[in-house]
Structure 1
Amino acid sequence: MKNAFLSRNRQYILLLALFSFSSLAAQNYQKTALGLKTKLQYMDVEVQFYSPGIVRILKSPEGVAFKKESLSVTKKPQQTKFTIQQKGDVVSLKSEKLKVDVDLKSGKIAYYTIAGGALLNEAASGSKFTDFDDAGSKTYSINQLFVLDKDEAIYGLGQQQRGKLSLRNAKINMVQGNVDDYVPFLVSTKGYGLFWDNYSPTTFEDKPESASFKSEVGDCIDYYFMVGGNIDGSIAGMRELTGQAPMFPLWTFGYWQSKERYKSQDELVGVVSKYRELGVPLDGIIQDWQYWGNNYLWNAMDFLNPEFPQPKKMVDDIHNMNAHLIISIWNSFGPQTKQFREMQPKGMLLNFGTWPQSGLETWPPNRDYPSGVQPYDPYNPGARDIYWKYLNKGLFSLGIDGWWMDSSEPDHLDFKPSDFDLKTHLGSFRKVRNAFPLMTVGGVSEHQRAASADKRIFILTRSAFAGQQRYGANTWSGDVNSSWQSLRNQIPAGLNFSMSAIPYWNTDIGGFFAGAYKRGWGDGTKNPSFQELYVRWLQFGAFTPMMRSHGTDIPREIYNFGKKGETIYDAIVKTIDLRYSLLPYIYSASWDITNNQSTMMRALVMDFNDKKVVDMNNEYLFGKSILVAPVVNAQYTPETIVKSNEETGWNKDNDANGAKVQAVTFTQAKSTKVYLPEGAAWFDFWTNEKINGGQEIEKATTIDEIPLYIKAGSIIPFGPKVQYATEKKWDNLEIRVYPGANGEFTLYEDENDNYNYEKGAYSTITFKWNEQTKTLTVGKRKGDFKGMIKNRTFNIILATKGKGTGMTGTTNFDKTISYDGKEKSVKL
């Protein structure tokens, strides 16, 4: 009896203990309006729903107060319905799109679809804070581990010159550089996105056991998880969080000519005049540095160079030829500029080594005469005001159309660790280093938008950070080398950048440093090795969001390469003309970005469930219909190995590195391998031969064509032959239908510039192809705007072998539709 009583007593005590532990666990979190707060593993942890598909995680050492205002995130948490349930040690928060499990014992957080599919797990005990002295401020270095599935692929993290697409097994040290633009956002083939909201130097590393973000400085671990269902959906979540991409003017999608640098007003205007005389399309020209004079006047934002005596006339002359001008501005100032003299006494400059290092134009830099140039502090709103004040007065008032923001990372030369201790308006430079491009581009964008809505903002910039898509900026890949390997690197660099939720990207066509091709070839434009590389790069550039030819050492204007009737010249013209014929398609794809959070340069993995494209780094979709397979290996000339970088490239002794090659005719047909993704049939753009996907083919090529394939079910509009983007109305468009699957395309039109589209001043026409009935329906026009075409003609071609191929100009149409805005259907 006694033993039975003792046994029951022990059971009671055990049950009481279990109940007490359970009660303690149940009380171990606090529900909030956004999610929950709890203490895990000596940390304060908060889970906040920003929307049904986006959740924010904040972690900090227990009891340590901090204040965090994101530089990237603009979204405020929206009221989100969610439930909380606890089962054992696990608390589950569930919205209509996402389930988040918080393990109160291990501290691990895991993410699931509503259906229960596992998306991502933190590693157990995967959060780490290490004491760190940040220029006298007590803070932490932070580290977070995640566990990825063996078979998932991840992409993004900005632009890297690695030559690879997938980020699996990669170690990436993220500090902004000339040719590397880091954005701590990644997407997964499992349908989620992850944004690590930190601005200090950060290392991402993927190992077999875990993937991690490790940042030098962080008062807290702060990241956002978003479920998108696919890569497009995850990118849409990131833009919802950090801002939508506005429309660019139509003229930005034409052809742009540039070089380092036009040395006079007459030379600059003369280039535009020569293009008009030759009848070669051109929409823009760019004036590079030193229109301000010497290096002590660096970035004065004023025409102090006597070779530019009448800047207003220069701008007007360019405009009168129906072209546009953007101009180089920097993020640093010479000691004799007004900006420097106004900012320095206010502590608005950052005193570290930047470009140029000497006041004299010599290489190597003569350090006996330092330039004294210093970057400004864009984190300081007052400094951004001063920057715009001089930009507005010196350049914007002249009618210049856009800004080439060079060195926006910025150049950080002769790096010393103590440079990171420099004070900015928001703390140490170390703490906010990677967000420099976001702040400086944002400063110009916000000021210009406040000053005028008549002209859409267009900024060409060398660096980027999370959220920069909201500022009307197109990022170029920096001072990349002129080599075949560099060209190959650009494709995955652009695709990863695009999958970082920033849709506008481009490169220096031909590569920036080209001196190695000059040996024995004068200015280098007649060197077959450079000619072949340049044409192939140009053909790639025609299928990027901005087609812009630029570089040093070798001039890039078309007339330097020969004349009409010569192979290389004609190949260049053909490529530029092709770009212009696709403007209705490209401008509509741009609207798809603004309106539907789409992406223009699309890694094949975004659209095809095909294991062979998961790490494909040499093909992509441009828009949602055109498969581009650039020729990225030399076919006619030796593949010259060129070794230079953004620092050594300025050493003109490199001009002697090239080997002279024999004259080449470029008339032979060559071939290259192309993989056509599974899940679609494909039409050869040049022949309309239909080929089933899921196979690699051998494609014949010539110097004036690269492999292009159109996905079955596509509808593509082709515009008229023009000299500039707005020369002719789109009142007589060729509409090509590529059968084999149902298809849809929405043609977008507006006033081509200004922000009236935000007030609804635009129109859309949706084309639908029914494969079963072989019927094309042109839907009712929606919307209107000033100058809209009321009545127009659509010339319809059903793509079949030998008909409606390659360039426009055919009159062999299947149907011609007179369209007045009402729905019409035609059977083909």
Structure 2
Amino acid sequence: MSKLRTVIKRLYVIMVVGLVLFSCSKTAYKRTPEGIIIHPVEVAKDGAKSIKIQIVSDDIIRVKATPEMTMKERESLIIVKEFDNKVKFDVVEQEGVLHIKTAKLLVKASLQTGELSFYDLKGNALLEESSGSHKKFKPIEVDGYTGYTFEQVFESPDDEAFYGLGQHQSDEWNYKGKNEELYQYNTKVSVPFVVSNKKYGILWDNYSYSRFGNPNDYGQLSQFKLFNNEGVEGGLTATYTTAEGKIFAQQNEAEIDYEHLESIKNFPANFPFNNSRITWEGEIEAPESGIYHFKLYYAGYTSVEVDGKEVVEERWRTAWNPNTYKFTVQLEKGKRVPIKLDWKPDGGISYIGLKAFSPRSDKEQGKLALWSEMGQELDYYFIHGENMDKIISGYRQLTGKATILPRWAYGFWQSRERYKTQDEIVGTLGEFRKRHIPIDNIVQDWSYWEEDQWGSHEFDAKRFPDVQKMMDDIHEMNARCMISVWPKFYHNTDNYKALDARGYMYQRAVQDSIRDWISQGYIGSFYDPYSQGARELFWDQMKENIYEYGMDAWWMDASEPDILSNASIEYRKELCGPTALGSSTEFFNTYSLANADAIYNGQRSVDPNKRVFLLTRSGFAGLQRYATATWSGDIGTRWEDMKAQITAGMNFALSGIPYWTMDIGGFCVEKRYETAKEGSKDLDEWRELNTRWYQFGTFVPLYRAHGQYPYREVFHIAPENHKAYKTIVAYNKLRYRLMPYIYSVAGHVYFNDYTMMRALVMDFAHDKKVENIDDQYMFGPSLMVCPVYEYGARKREVYLPKDTKWYNAHNGRMLPGGQTIMADAPYEQMPLFIKAGSIIPFGPEIEYTDQKLDAPIKLVVYTGEDGAFEIYEDEGLNYNYEKGLFCSIPLKWDQTNRTLTIGERKGEYEGMVKERQFNIVFVSENSPRSIEAIKEIDGQVANYTGDQLLIQFP
């Protein structure tokens, strides 16, 4: 009888499963003109009831999911593409799985669970959602606005690598197995786009605080058993020592959490931080064995030891602008190990924190996982590409093309924390011209207004008595001026009142009487750029008070927005909301994008054919369409900060936004440099640091120096006869000689969705060794840049990617690829290598980018491999290139026939140089030439009128 029941039960199960599958095929999905909507049969309590697969192109798939039965329509802040619904795709159901096929991709979707997987047409798996836990939703309500907190998890093979996510300062490169918090902060720019070495990228269309990797928040040290110096359980021994060496307080602390203005109130009352020292010492015992991921948040001088090993060598950050650094430690359950955090605050109020994630399995930690605090629906784009350029092209297809910046923007910019008067800024520019040092842009930073008139956009007449003359003087010296404009307004200004009267100002900062750091402190707030009316009024105010003088470019500072520095994230959200679109929790990360929209479209509305240029301290996906570059914020002036800019810049470029820059020399200065005297070790190091940083800065998309005192003008760094001065000027001049190359690459950024600052993994993906190289990159297709970031270093290790040959730029010698070498790095030179097959156009020595545009161009051919390059030219200041008014000259080197082809010119524009002289120089293994000597070499002369020329290698 029991056997009969078992048989009947099995038949019943089979029947139910069959009915379910039949039901799947009839009702579980719906085909639309643009894709498929699935209602999975199996839905977890926190899972997705509706999943939409939208075919954007043959290579791009959009996935939306919600725990509701219907989809909501919303306007994306980052996506600009109009979907035409004309992409052909086929749908076939096989055993409860939909096979959705385009000309490039196959997407499999389980009707039972809704799990998706992506394949190329050869059947190779590209990406698969994790089984059983791929999507999770949790309702959230903030300020009366509802939505969901959600996460998405994908499987990831062991050999996968992840890049992008914006620009962060922990000096991390490949994000495989790592964790990153995505929010905006001074020096931290979060972009929810990740690129894999497995031929795909994920664009996460969400604007809230998000996380990559572990979806949880970091835990306090109290998750461990903690023992003080006496071995007593309960906390570490925290010792607060004054500048005089006296112990002010000593107590047990189970948490080191003094990360923001609210939490620092927990420090011992009235402790004098200036020149003090605080240590946390004792032992730590893990509750489970494994790798713990620690996050150190620090300002001042900080180091950490665990089990007798220095896991964090001394790092520094100025007191008012903390940084995050991450490290991992292997701990064993039940084993007590010594731990010590040594902290010297270096100033008044300062910040410190140490937290950790508990262990996860390597497989779980290595997955591609994304979590967001708030959104209406889970929404992501899968972008396939045979290489990373194709993936980034797909990203820009969705979020907007990058513009070509005005030609002068690719020259040198000089800035300092601020020029205090009209005479200072004009006089500084005049000094460059007097010394014949190339420069194109001088920057007027903040505080040009009267002290209590922040946001008025009006110059203080006592210090800037004739703004029009100032602008005219700058322009007469063949330079441009960029000016800092914050989205911040003191509440007594007319501009604040005009914005506030229309409901365009965030209210909380004024309601809480928050005062800033100027003099006795003034009350104000930021405007809300999520309102179209607010953006238009903001631009009108800038136009009326600044643009009318002929201002050339805009520095949009504090665009995180930084309404109150070092506030907690929770209070920051209260200060910048609610927005015109909804809760600030939902729109926390996109302020800079909306603000850039205001200026870009504002200027084009009054001067539609004058190129816009913005520099912003924050950024988000889509920023490139607003002629906007991002700089890495108020970074420190330490060697570790310089090193961190390499990974920051490479990952930012791989986030799809091509224009990035940094403060050469760093912004926030250690006191020892401020007071350094001639002949001192500190001054020697300061000069070497700036020299190395200028060498590095020559080869990033935008080349600019900025910082607090000491001043960053080269003639303030060192005297003319000093090797620092000579080297900095030499690299500046090299940048300008490379302008035909640089501007051509900029043209490729627009027309071909190219990327200027290129991690080696972009061009040498076939070489697995490059995936974790975090301190070398390509600048355009030809130049491999190897910055020197250690004091006193006169050599550095360099890897030469395989399957090509390389020329040492400084001696012209050819080296085979696929090897690691110790490259010479004398004070005056940074290792620089040129890929064989490169054709690099050099211009003459000039002092500004519009000078000598008709001068001969020297074409330097680095033989040894086939190669090609395309020279791009246009008018440099307008948008006529969008109308097809530009020209290009294709260049091709044939190694077998030893022939350079200068191809037929394509296109034309007003003012084009129709007859140009090329001077061709060949570099070979038997004919080495240094990049410094090339300017003096006379090669073969070719007079070019637009028709094809063939040049034979002699």
TM-score by length of 1: 0.91
Aligned residue-pair number: 783
| Of 749, 752, 758, the match for 1:602 | 758
* CA deviation profile, 1:510-556 (whole Å, cap 9, x unmatched): 00012433354259998111100001011111000111000002101
After TM superposition, the structure 1 = structure 2 runs for residues 628-777 of structure 1, keeping only pairs within 5 Å, are 628-635=785-792, 670-777=794-901
Partner of 2:372: 215
Coordinate RMSD, CA, aligned:
2.3
Moved more, 807-816 or 233-242: 807-816
Moved more, 313-322 or 15-24: 15-24
Task: Please state if 1:277 is matched with 2:285.
Answer: no
Helix, strand or coil: the match of 1:424? coil
After TM superposition, the structure 1 = structure 2 runs for residues 255-404 of structure 1, keeping only pairs within 5 Å, are 255-294=412-451, 296-352=452-508, 358=515, 361-362=518-519, 369-404=520-555
| Matched-pair contact (CA < 8 Å) for 1:461–1:475 | yes
The letter for the 2-side match of 1:679 is: D
Helix, strand or coil: the match of 2:447? coil
Helix, strand or coil: the match of 2:742? helix
Distance 1:702 1:36, change over 3 A: same
Helix, strand or coil: the match of 1:592? helix
* CA deviation profile, 1:607-666 (whole Å, cap 9, x unmatched): 112222101111000001100001111117xxxxxxxxxxxxxxxxxxxxxxxxxxxxxx
* CA deviation profile, 1:6-27 (whole Å, cap 9, x unmatched): 9x99999999766644421211
The letter for the 1-side match of 2:363 is: P
Distance 1:400 1:9, change over 3 A: closer
| Of 376, 395, 412, the match for 1:238 | 395
Partner of 1:106: 113
Partner of 2:181: 173
Helix, strand or coil: the match of 2:501? helix
| Of 568, 579, 585, the match for 1:415 | 568
| Matched-pair contact (CA < 8 Å) for 1:731–1:789 | no
| Of 47, 65, 69, the match for 2:75 | 69
Deviation at 1:213, TM superposition (A): 1.1
* Cα distance in 2, alignment partners of residues 555 and 802 from structure 1: 43
* CA deviation profile, 1:432-476 (whole Å, cap 9, x unmatched): 010111100111111111211332011011110000010001100
Distance 1:373 1:824, change over 3 A: same
Helix, strand or coil: the match of 2:732? helix
Partner of 1:627: 784
Gapped runs of 5+ residues in structure 1?
1-5, 363-368, 637-669
After TM superposition, the structure 1 = structure 2 runs for residues 444-463 of structure 1, keeping only pairs within 5 Å, are 444-463=599-618
* Cα distance in 2, alignment partners of residues 37 and 446 from structure 1: 36
| Matched-pair contact (CA < 8 Å) for 2:687–2:718 | no
| Of 142, 145, 153, the match for 2:150 | 142
Partner of 1:159: 167
Deviation at 1:148, TM superposition (A): 1.2
Partner of 1:580: 736
Task: Please state if 1:92 is matched with 2:99.
Answer: yes
* CA deviation profile, 1:265-315 (whole Å, cap 9, x unmatched): 001000111111111111110001111121x31132121352001001100
* Cα distance in 2, alignment partners of residues 56 and 508 from structure 1: 37
Helix, strand or coil: the match of 2:38? strand
Distance 1:274 1:519, change over 3 A: closer
Task: Please state if 1:251 is matched with 2:404.
Answer: no
Helix, strand or coil: the match of 2:604? helix
Helix, strand or coil: the match of 1:783? coil
Gapped runs of 5+ residues in structure 2?
215-361
Distance 1:9 1:543, change over 3 A: closer
Task: Please state if 1:36 is matched with 2:36.
Answer: yes
| Matched-pair contact (CA < 8 Å) for 1:720–1:730 | no
* Cα distance in 2, alignment partners of residues 70 and 531 from structure 1: 47
Moved more, 810-819 or 704-713: 810-819
The letter for the 1-side match of 2:56 is: Y
* Cα distance in 2, alignment partners of residues 542 and 313 from structure 1: 31
Partner of 2:244: none
Task: Please state if 1:187 is matched with 2:195.
Answer: yes
After TM superposition, the structure 1 = structure 2 runs for residues 533-544 of structure 1, keeping only pairs within 5 Å, are 533-544=689-700
Partner of 2:263: none
Q: Structure 1 vs Structure 2: percent identity of aligned residues? A: 37
Deviation at 1:34, TM superposition (A): 0.8
Partner of 1:789: 913
Helix, strand or coil: the match of 1:115? coil
The letter for the 1-side match of 2:494 is: K
* CA deviation profile, 1:546-597 (whole Å, cap 9, x unmatched): 1100000210112113343321111111010010011111001101110001
* Cα distance in 1, alignment partners of residues 938 and 513 from structure 2: 58
* Cα distance in 2, alignment partners of residues 356 and 276 from structure 1: 46
Deviation at 1:815, TM superposition (A): 1.6
* CA deviation profile, 1:306-335 (whole Å, cap 9, x unmatched): 200100110000000000000000011111
Helix, strand or coil: the match of 2:131? strand
Distance 1:76 1:477, change over 3 A: same
Moved more, 713-722 or 298-307: 298-307
The letter for the 1-side match of 2:389 is: D
TM-score by length of 2: 0.79
Helix, strand or coil: the match of 1:407? coil
| Matched-pair contact (CA < 8 Å) for 1:525–1:561 | no
Partner of 1:24: 23
* Cα distance in 2, alignment partners of residues 44 and 304 from structure 1: 58
Task: Please state if 1:528 is matched with 2:681.
Answer: no
Helix, strand or coil: the match of 2:941? strand
* CA deviation profile, 1:409-447 (whole Å, cap 9, x unmatched): 111433362553531101011110101111001111111
Deviation at 1:723, TM superposition (A): 0.9
Task: Please state if 1:197 is matched with 2:353.
Answer: no
